[in-house]
């Protein structure tokens, strides 16, 4: 194999993101890749950056199929598919397994395994950080849009009916985004990620305080 693992994984991953919606598209994969490598370089532990880079590119390749109901769990499907793709390119079995472990453990779902390797922890953290801060708020709003109208899904409304004549909404307001982000930031594993998370959380707290004042939500606290 002449290509390094990260660029190879990027090339293999891109066709799978063609039908992705904005919250889980190739740009999300790129951001997770970049943040994961930044965290790795700030980490005291020894990190296999090639494995981490490959896992970042491939971690959400199952999302488009999960969204339309073709598969039940994009973590499991994506890990298995990534292993097949990398193995067919002659990547060593131990490195394929390392990438697969990262992908299987990147979700916060209750059934997902806890990340155990440093590479898996860094991928998990970078993925969660993409739901925090200025960029994270925009991405979470995209997720709200994806979920809106789907039975059983929680999604946020922007306007507060208390300042208009509209009937009070039966759905969570914009603070749901804060809950989602806070849940993810509380799960971070590495100290570099926690430091970055603290900075992004501070921005979100300030932004949402301002948002609530403008939307007339202060009285609901």
d(CA 121, CA 209): 31
DSSP secondary-structure letter at 173?
Answer: B
Q: Which two tokens stand for residue 208?
A: 């949402």
Phi, psi of 187 (to 5 degrees): -100, 0
Positions in the chain short of pLDDT 50 = 1-2, 160-169, 221
pLDDT at 7: 96
Of the candidates 117, 150, 182, which is a domain's last residue? Answer: 117
Half-sphere exposure of 216 (CA within 13 A, CB side): 6
Residue 13 located in a structural domain: yes
Task: Note whether 54 and 109 are same-domain residues.
Answer: yes
Comparing CA positions, the residue from 78, 107, 92, 97 lying closest to residue 17 is 78
Cα–Cα distances (Å) from 115 to 15, 109, 129, 168, 170, in that order, read: 27, 12, 16, 41, 36
Residue 125 located in a structural domain: no
Phi, psi of 36 (to 5 degrees): -60, -45
pLDDT at 210: 86
Q: Torsion-angle region of residue 117: left (phi > 0), alpha (psi -120 to 50) or beta?
A: beta
Residue 29 located in a structural domain: yes
For 60-77, the pLDDT digits (tens) are 999 999 988 999 999 999
Residue 155 located in a structural domain: yes
Helix ranges (H only) for 42-91 are 49-58, 63-67, 74-88
Contact at 8 Å (CB) between 104 and 14?
no
Directed axis angle between helix 49-58 and helix 5-13, to 10°? Answer: 0
Residues sharing a CB contact under 8 Å with residue 30, sequence separation 6 or more, in sequence order: none
pLDDT at 161: 44
Task: Note whether 135 and 216 are same-domain residues.
Answer: yes
Phi, psi of 157 (to 5 degrees): -100, 150
pLDDT at 160: 47
Q: Residue 67 maps to which CATH number?
A: 1.10.3210.10
Q: Indicate the number of domains in the chain.
A: 2
pLDDT at 2: 42
Task: Note whether 109 and 202 are same-domain residues.
Answer: no
d(CA 163, CA 104): 45
Query: Hey, CA dihedral for 18, 19, 21, 23, is it positive or negative?
Result: negative
Residue 123 located in a structural domain: no
Task: Note whether 41 and 148 are same-domain residues.
Answer: no
d(CA 189, CA 120): 10
Task: Note whether 86 and 110 are same-domain residues.
Answer: yes
Task: Note whether 10 and 60 are same-domain residues.
Answer: yes
Task: Note whether 112 and 141 are same-domain residues.
Answer: no
- Give the structural domain span for 36: 1-117
pLDDT at 165: 47
């Amino acid at each position: 194999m002449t290509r390094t693992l990260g660029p190879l994984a990027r090339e293999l991953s891109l066709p799978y993101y063609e039908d992705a919606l904005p919250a889980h598209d190739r740009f999300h994969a790129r951001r997770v890749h970049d943040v994961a490598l930044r965290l790795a370089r700030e980490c005291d532990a020894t990190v296999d950056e090639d494995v981490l880079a490959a896992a970042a590119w491939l971690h959400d390749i199952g999302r488009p199929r999960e969204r339309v109901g073709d598969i039940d769990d994009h973590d499991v499907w994506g890990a298995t598919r990534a292993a097949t793709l990398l193995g067919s390119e002659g990547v060593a079995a131990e490195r394929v397994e390392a990438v697969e472990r990262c992908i299987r453990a990147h979700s916060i779902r209750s059934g997902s395994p806890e990340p155990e390797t440093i590479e898996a922890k860094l991928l998990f953290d970078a993925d969660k950080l993409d739901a925090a801060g200025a960029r994270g708020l925009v991405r979470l709003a995209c997720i709200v849009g994806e979920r809106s109208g789907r039975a059983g899904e929680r999604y946020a409304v922007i306007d507060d009916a208390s300042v208009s004549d509209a009937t009070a909404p039966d759905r969570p307001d914009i603070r749901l985004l804060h809950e989602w982000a806070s849940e993810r930031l509380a799960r971070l594993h590495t100290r570099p990620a926690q430091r970055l998370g603290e900075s992004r959380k501070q921005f979100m707290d300030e932004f949402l305080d301002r948002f609530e004042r403008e939307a007339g939500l202060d009285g609901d606290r």
